[in-house]
Structure formats: C-alpha cells, structure tokens
Amino acid sequence: PLQLLQSKAVPKRLQTSQKKPREPQVPMSLIKEIFRHFVKMPVTRDAFKIVEKCSHRYFKQLSDDLEAYSHHAGRKTVEMADLEVLMRRQGLVTDKMPLNVLIERYLPLEYRKLLIPIAVSGNKVIPCK
Amino acid sequence: SSSRRMKSTAPRSTLRKIIKNHKPQLRLAANVDLLAWRFYFTFKKACPVVIHLNFLLFLHRLAEEARTNAFEKKSKIIKPEHTVSAAKVL
C-alpha cells in the first residue's frame, strides 16, 4: 500500500555547472538496499531517513574510534589490527566468531580473495589479483 | 527483493573519503594492487573493505533491532520510531 504513495518517476536533476563540495556519503540507494536485505519487512520512507542519519553518525563514531586506536598504537595509519580490536569491542568478533568467518559470511568472493588468500590443492596459495 | 542477491560491493573510495572528512590527518593503510602473499600483509592492505564489512554488520544490527521493535508493537512495517529506538540500543 505504501508503494502507491511513492511516485516512481523521479525528475532528473539538471546538471549544475557549479557543484557544491558535498560531504562524502555512502549512496542512499546502497544503504537502502542493504537495510532492506537484512530487515525483510516493508520500511517507510521516513524510517529510511532515520537509517541514513544513523549511518552518518556511525561513520563519525567509527572515525573517532579508529583514530583513537591507531593513535594509541603510535601510528598515523589505520591498520587491520585496529579494525579487529574495534570489532572485538563491538562484540562482532569473538573467539567463537573470528573475523574470517564474518568476512566469509558477508563479503562477496572478490573481497574474500583480497582478505583471505585461498589455499587450493597442494600447497599453492592464490594471492589477490 | 529477497529473491535477488544483495549487491555488496563496497563503495571503497567513498568510505575512504568519509573517514578523511572526519579525520583529515588519519591515513588508511593502502589497498589492493600489490600482490600480497602473506596473510598479515594482505590483511593490512584491506582496510576499506573491512570498514565496509563493519558497516554491513552495523546495518544488520540496526535492521534486526528495528524488526524486533516493529514486532513488539505489532506493526507489519518498519516505521521511523522503530528505527529510532533501535538506534538507541546500539
């Protein structure tokens, strides 16, 4: 019933000659798609706006945390170790749920290959492309 | 939409830019391109992808919480208030 309210035809925006420097953001379409995939229920438009806001806040928080972790380790570069510590603190990575399992479960093959070199028959290891 | 697979490619450069925007002085370990044989070495190079993973998991949790809230309120659709209270839990 909700879909009837939403107009399908979105007017194309005119190409503006002077682009305002916008804050970089994950495209709303992607956020919507991911959220919809997980929630498996209809979602109102306003609820999506909240999801977008939460995502924004999430990245702010993430940046703060990653800065704190890498700073604590005396680095200026965020490394995998920092992310693993963060995900442990978030309770996402545990002894029973190692990062590798999460990677295998959530990421497509091309990224898995990037993160986990795949051992094939024999002792050959296929590196990322 | 559950029939088709979720597109899960990461907007990697966007993720980088977002972090850069919040923390201009912070660097993310460089990604890809190079052949990396050793596990740790590979890992080190893959920050934006894992940030994407973290973001996916964040949205997953948010979705689950919102769903639970909607069920509790006997609602068949996710409304703003369900996501708001979900966000508070996280």
Sign of torsion over alpha carbons A104, B50, B35, A69: negative
B51: in domain: yes
Q: Which residues does residue A118 pair with via DSSP β-bridges, in sequence order?
A: A126
What six digits make up the tokens of B75? 């609602």
CA distance A88 to chain B (A): 11
B8: in domain: no
pLDDT tens-digit profile of B8-17? 567 777 777 8
State whether residue A79 is helix, strand or coil: coil
Measured CA distances, B76 to A86, B3, B79 (Å)? 34, 20, 9
B22: in domain: yes
Q: Which residue of B has its CA nearest to A31?
A: B59
User: What one-letter code names the amino acid at A115?
Assistant: L
Which residues in chain B have their CB less than 8 angstroms from residue A110's CB? 9
How far, in Å, CA of A57 to CA of A44, rounded?
20
Which residues in chain B have their CB less than 8 angstroms from residue A91's CB? none
Give the model's pLDDT for residue B88: 87
Query: In this structure, what are the phi and psi dihedrals at residue B47, rounded to the nearest 5 degrees?
Result: -55, -55
Low-confidence ranges of chain B (pLDDT < 70): 1-9, 28-46
What 8-state DSSP symbol labels residue A7?
-
Number of domains present in the structure of chain B: 1
State whether residue A104 sits within 8 Å of chain B by CB: no
Query: In this structure, what are the phi and psi dihedrals at residue B27, rounded to the nearest 5 degrees?
Result: -110, 145
What 8-state DSSP symbol labels residue A17?
S
CB contact under 8 A, B82 and A47: yes
B60: in domain: yes
pLDDT tens-digit profile of A86-101? 999 999 999 999 988 8
Contact A55, A35 (CB under 8 A): no
Q: From the list A26, A83, A117, which residue is nearest B50 (CB)?
A: A83
The CATH number covering residue B24 comes to: 1.10.20.10
Residue B29's domain comprises: 13-89
Supply the ipTM of this predicted assembly.
0.73
Give the model's pLDDT for residue A8: 53
Which residues in chain A have their CB less than 8 angstroms from residue B24's CB? none
Give the model's pLDDT for residue B37: 32
Low-confidence ranges of chain A (pLDDT < 70): 1-21, 117-129
Give the model's pLDDT for residue B78: 94
Give the model's pLDDT for residue B23: 81
Q: Which domains does chain A have, with CATH numbers?
A: 44-115 (1.10.20.10)
Give the model's pLDDT for residue B81: 95
Q: Are strands B27-28 and A77-78 parallel, antiparallel or unpaired?
A: parallel
